[in-house]
Structure 1
Amino acid sequence: MHALATQPLLKAALWDMDGTLVDTEPYWIAAERALVESHGGGWSHEQAMQLVGQSLMHSAGLLQSAGVNLAKREIVDTLSGHVIERLRVEVPWRPGAKELLDELYQRGVRCALVTMSEGPMAREVVANLPKPYFEFLVTGDIVNQGKPHPEAYLTAVERLGRTDPELTKDHCVALEDSVPGVAAAIASGVVTVGIPHQMPLPEDPCRTTWDTLQGRKVADLEALVAARAAGIVPAAALLGQAN
């Protein structure tokens, strides 16, 4: 176990955005409710929770079912515009997220943003960070299949590997808050940490669960990757499912 601790294999951290890096879900829910109500419908908390972590086009279809008489593209643009306006007033960072990002940056661990939000919104968030923490963004408008499909995470790993041929999914940790996001990360094969926020995550031995990123360090991520390398399944067996 001492050898694991002194030979970290972590090369990259893959970050979800909404609910993991920033607490934008209240912005999205407010935009959804306003849009549905403007079309004469009602939008419950339970309906809003069905959209958390889903691709925007999938969410647009559910909003059409709730009575929004617009094309999916128009729905996505309307919602995104509302959220971007709110982000320009305040970016609500999740506890511990910026601190962990900064330590990763200082330690030379590569980071990528893997989000179902589209490019303009993701760039709005990243522009509010004090340093160029993210090497690149994988956004919902550049993949064919949204979460819970693993395409976005597979794309991130492939892009990282272009400049480091030795990098594999086993060197990467995904940080996710939602059921679709966690499913996408696990399906891609990367080491996965769930940090539930708006919705609880069902128990799953294939991931580690942390209550928060507050107080988490690069060493915690290194330990999870080292556990994967040692064949410890789940990796959570090293640190405990929740702390």
Structure 2
Amino acid sequence: MEACVFDLDGVLVDSEPVWEEVRRAFVAEHGGTWQPDTQSRLMGMSTGEWAGYLHELGVRLPPAEIAAGVIRQMKARYHDKGVPLMPGAAAAVARMAAAAPLGLASSSPRALIDAVLAETGLGTHFQATVSTEEVARGKPAPDGYLAAARALGIAPKRCVAVEDSSNGLRSAHAAGMRVVAIPHPVYPPAADALALAWKVLPSLDELTP
């Protein structure tokens, strides 16, 4: 291993429940209909992709306004209630940073990535961060992980990715990285996606160089 690339949502930050609550309420408020598989489909999508999908659910706003409204509410939640770090996140990041350069490949918008890293103090450990807003395709496409590897100057096959979601696991695997899966207890990945993992760990406490 020459580098480690983390996902953010569901790996370092327990944000999926917050995303679901905020987006579900936004959809209901603006005339849309939340579907049983909506949350699982949204996980890993880029901002443009999930805003377009919420519009397809019947939200009576253009996708750009949907994205802006949801992101504004997410930032407010983080500011008012704090960033909900996953157990062991800060220690795991520091532990891995002491051994190798760290990257971040996240489906969160740049504004939220920067807010989370600043408020938690984790930003000092990362040499490269990529939002799927900044690449052509969101997860499960490999674009974000490939961009992170390029920014670190390290070949993807020499990187380990840390992921939790189905789309994230597929993305990192498609990029050619070895994938460590740490499944979220509430939003576990699909079995076929989990099968792509090189290692499956129960928690961040088990993640070591």
Normalised by the length of structure 1, the TM-score is 0.78
Match of 1:52 among 31, 43, 47: 43
For the aligned residue pairs, the C-alpha RMSD in angstroms reads: 1.7
Q: Partner of 2:5: helix, strand, or coil?
A: strand
Q: Partner of 1:62: helix, strand, or coil?
A: helix
Asked if residue 97 in structure 1 is aligned to residue 89 in structure 2, the reply is yes
Cα deviation, 1:18-41, whole Å, max 9, x if unaligned, reads 111101111111111221111233
Task: Show the counterpart of 1:233.
Answer: none
Q: Partner of 1:113: helix, strand, or coil?
A: strand
- How far apart, in 2, do the equivalents of 1:31 and 1:130 lie? 24
Match of 1:170 among 150, 153, 157: 157
Q: Label 1:98 to 1:45 Cα distance change in 2 as closer, same or farther (>3 A).
A: farther
Asked if residue 182 in structure 1 is aligned to residue 169 in structure 2, the reply is yes
Asked if residue 136 in structure 1 is aligned to residue 123 in structure 2, the reply is no
Residue 81 of structure 1: how far off its partner (Å): 1.1
The equivalences for 1:200-215 within 5 A come to: 200-203=189-192, 204-207=194-197, 208-215=199-206
Residue 170 of structure 1: how far off its partner (Å): 2.5
Residue 194 of structure 1: how far off its partner (Å): 1.5
The equivalences for 1:57-206 within 5 A come to: 57-88=48-79, 89-107=81-99, 109-130=100-121, 132-161=124-153, 167-197=154-184, 198-203=187-192, 204-206=194-196
Residue 64 of structure 1: how far off its partner (Å): 1.2
- How far apart, in 2, do the equivalents of 1:206 and 1:147 lie? 15
- Give unpaired runs (5+ residues) of structure 1: 1-9, 162-166, 219-243
> Which runs of 4 or more aligned residues in structure 1 lie more than 4 Å from their structure 2 counterparts after TM superposition?
none
Q: Is the 8 Å Cα contact of residues 180 and 201 (structure 2) preserved in structure 1?
A: yes
- How far apart, in 2, do the equivalents of 1:12 and 1:96 lie? 20
Cα deviation, 1:153-212, whole Å, max 9, x if unaligned, reads 111111111xxxxx3222211011111111110000011112121133314543122222
Residue 45 of structure 1: how far off its partner (Å): 5.2
User: Aligned residues: percent identity?
Assistant: 33
Q: Give the partner amino acid of 2:169.
A: V
Q: Is the 8 Å Cα contact of residues 194 and 201 (structure 1) preserved in structure 2?
A: no
Q: Is the 8 Å Cα contact of residues 150 and 184 (structure 1) preserved in structure 2?
A: yes
Normalised by the length of structure 2, the TM-score is 0.90
Q: Partner of 1:214: helix, strand, or coil?
A: helix
Q: Give the partner amino acid of 1:152.
A: G
How many residue pairs get aligned? The number is 203
Q: Is the 8 Å Cα contact of residues 115 and 138 (structure 1) preserved in structure 2?
A: yes
Q: Is the 8 Å Cα contact of residues 32 and 60 (structure 2) preserved in structure 1?
A: no
Greater gyration radius: 1
Q: Partner of 2:204: helix, strand, or coil?
A: coil
Q: Give the partner amino acid of 2:27.
A: V
More helix by share: 2
Asked if residue 216 in structure 1 is aligned to residue 203 in structure 2, the reply is no
